[in-house]
Amino acid sequence: MIKEYYRPKTVSEAEQLFKRGDNKFVPLGGGSVLSRSKEEDLCVVDLQELGLNQVEVVGHKAILGATVTLQQLIESDSIPIHLKEVIRRSATINIRNQATLGGYVVSTDGRSPLGIALMAMDAVLIWHPNQETQSLGDWFSIRQPRGYWIKGIQFNLNVELAYEQVSRTPMDQPILAVAIARWASGRVRIAIGGFGKSPILVLDGPEDSGLIEAVKNALSDSGDEWASAEYRQAVGEVLVRRMMNKNASDYQG
């Protein structure tokens, strides 16, 4: 339950609150998760006046402020079309208008499409105050903040993204999702989700040989109340083959 709400107008005002340390201060993005929290006595610091709602492109890098909303990303000319499609699948328009990128990343679990895609793209968090960077994979595995709040998220725009998921309905969270990112250098990263607490990195290598086996191995212990591991392995193979065939036909066409 939110006990105290602060909306600092400057970065230094916000820092002062976190430095006090006598309360349980947490950053507030869009509040779609925090406003439902059952945790007692939360003191929230609303980041919305700190100017973190910018989408910037520097060279081949996109730098997205932490309070950019998911809908803002869909409306931005700087975001690649394949990523926009993943964002559309990540939440309904009402949630997209409220939810921020920072809040999304922090509350990502294994079934969050955008979290899975950003992990494949090797996105990096930037923490305030020391500009310390942290790979998303690192964040998902240890969930240890590297500062008071996430200031932004960056990733390379020269990466091609392919994403496929299987779910009960098109807007439902995935039972299985596969994201493949390819760099011009040939580097390939593949992340999967649809179960568990965080997306899983399956492969990061110079080429995509052994992709299907790697996905099936990563799914060998994925059984839960939504699907058995055998089902996910069978569907995972179909998804990866489809994505690889599509990729090959893109090159031919």
Ligand X SMILES: Cc1cc2nc3c(=O)[nH]c(=O)nc-3n(C[C@H](O)[C@H](O)[C@H](O)COP(=O)(O)OP(=O)(O)OC[C@H]3O[C@@H](n4cnc5c(N)ncnc54)[C@H](O)[C@@H]3O)c2cc1C
Contact residues for ligand X (CB under 6 A)? 26-34, 47, 66, 90-91, 95, 98-100, 102-104, 106-107, 112-113, 149-150, 173
Sign of the CA dihedral running 95, 173, 176, 81: negative
Residues 6+ apart with CB under 8 A from 214: 190, 202, 203
Provide the terminal-to-terminal Cα distance of the chain, rounded to the nearest Å. Answer: 55
> β-strand 2-6 against 42-46: which pairing, if any?
parallel
Residue number with CB closer to ligand X (136 or 214): 136
Overall size of the chain counted in residues: 253
Let me know the angle formed at the C-alpha of 235 by 225 and 93, rounded to the nearest 5 degrees: 70
Residue matched to tokens 């990729």: 247
Residues 6+ apart with CB under 8 A from 225: none
Residue number with CB closer to ligand X (22 or 185): 22
Residue number with CB closer to ligand X (118 or 239): 118
Question: Could you tell me the smallest distance in angstroms from the CB atom of residue 139 to ligand X?
Answer: 10
Question: Could you tell me the smallest distance in angstroms from the CB atom of residue 47 to ligand X?
Answer: 6
Question: Could you tell me the smallest distance in angstroms from the CB atom of residue 97 to ligand X?
Answer: 10
- Distance CA(237)–CA(166), nearest Å, equals 12
Question: Could you tell me the smallest distance in angstroms from the CB atom of residue 108 to ligand X?
Answer: 7
Question: Could you tell me the smallest distance in angstroms from the CB atom of residue 103 to ligand X?
Answer: 2
Q: For ligand X, which residue has the nearest CB?
A: 103
- Residues 113/215/230/82 CA torsion (nearest 10 deg): 30
Is residue 120 within 8 A of residue 180, CB to CB? The reply is yes
Is residue 68 within 8 A of residue 78, CB to CB? The reply is no
Question: Could you tell me the smallest distance in angstroms from the CB atom of residue 67 to ligand X?
Answer: 7
